[in-house]
Amino acid sequence: MCVYVNMTAVCCTVALVTYPTAIEMDWWNHSLHGYGAGYGLAWMTNCLFIVATVCMCLDDIVGSLCSRHKRRMVTGDRV
Q: What is the pLDDT of residues 6-48, one digit of tens each?
A: 777 788 888 888 887 777 776 676 666 677 788 888 889 888 8
Is 31 contained in some domain?
A: no
What's the CA dihedral at 66, 69, 75, 79 to 10 degrees? 170
Domain that holds residue 20: 2-26+36-75
The pTM (predicted TM-score) of the whole model is: 0.62
Return the higher-pLDDT residue of 74 and 8: 8
Tally of domains within the chain: 1
- Residue 75 or residue 63, greater confidence: 63
How far is Cα of residue 43 from the mean position of the Cα atoms in its chain? Answer: 11
Cα distance between residue 63 and residue 4, in whole Å: 19
Residues 31 and 42: their CA atoms lie apart, in Å, by: 23
Alpha carbon distance 30, 8 (integer Å): 32
pLDDT of residue 51: 87
Task: Tell me if 71 is assigned to some domain.
Answer: yes
Q: What is the pLDDT of residue 20?
A: 79
Q: What pLDDT sits at residue 3?
A: 64
Confidence at 76, pLDDT banded by 50, 70, 90: low
What are the CB-based long-range contacts (under 8 Å, 24+) for 36-45? 42/12, 42/16, 43/16, 45/12
Residue 33's pLDDT is 67
